[in-house]
Amino acid sequence: MTKAQLLLVVQLLIFVLAGCSVNQEDIAPKNNQTNLSVSRNQNIDNTIDSGEHSKSSQPNSMIENGISNLELTLPKGWNLNTENQFGTSLADENGINLGSVVTYPYTDDFSFNMYKPNHSEITHEEEIDTSIGSGKLYTLDADNGTAASGLTGTHDVYFAVIPIQDKIIFVLEFTKHDKEASTKKQFISLLDGLRLKK
């Protein structure tokens, strides 16, 4: 085998293996998603303490998508960062990515199974009621990494799917890469801070 042929085989192998680590957002039907916009480097100075909002807390993170607006009250120091035209990531005060918010056009037959991340399994599904509407809360058991990464073990990832009749579907994701009950409680606390702007 010549050096050129060997190089071609190596490049093909890298291309194929890289496909195993594709992010779910990269393969989602992007033309059906509604843009989520927040200002760049937007800082959130709101607090959530054990599910109770402080008296000085005001929701100020808006998701504007032309169909409806979502306000999300975050703990002090946390922020939303616009990743791309399809969603926003949620980071804590240390800049660690904890999740995301993505919107989809409303459809009666929306199936979370079509959008759940690769290498994960739904372990629990429950009905939830939020201030913006009822939906479903999914607990997923997700791999800590792809097979190629060498990381082993799993962690819980939480997804809230909240449809707004005939308008939009909000999908919120949250994880701290653990299996602690306190992580789920914190996510539910965040969901309690959701508001639709009129």
Condensed to tens digits (0 to 9), the pLDDT of residues 51-74 reads 333 332 333 333 344 334 678 889
Q: Among 65-74, 108-117, 164-173, whose mean pLDDT is lowest? A: 65-74
Residue ranges making up the domain that contains 80? 34-197
* Mean pLDDT of all residues belonging to the chain: 71
> Using an 8 Å Cβ cutoff, are 71 and 196 in contact?
yes
Question: According to the 3-state scheme, what is the secondary structure of the chain?
Answer: CCHHHHHHHHHHHHHHHHHHHCCHHHHCCHHHCECCCCCCCCCCCCCEECCEECCCCCCCCEEECCCCEEEECCCCCCEEEEEECCEEEEECCCCCEEEEEEEEECCCCCCHHHCCCCCEEEEEEEEEEECCEEEEEEEEEEECCCHHHCCCCEEEEEEEEEEECCCEEEEEEECCCCCCHHHHHHHHHHHHCEEEEC
Indicate the number of domains in the chain.
1
Residue 131 lies in a domain: yes
Using a pLDDT cut of 70, give the percent of the chain over it: 62
Condensed to tens digits (0 to 9), the pLDDT of residues 39-51 reads 223 333 332 332 3
Residue 14 lies in a domain: no
CATH number at residue 49: 2.60.120.1690
Residue 40 lies in a domain: yes
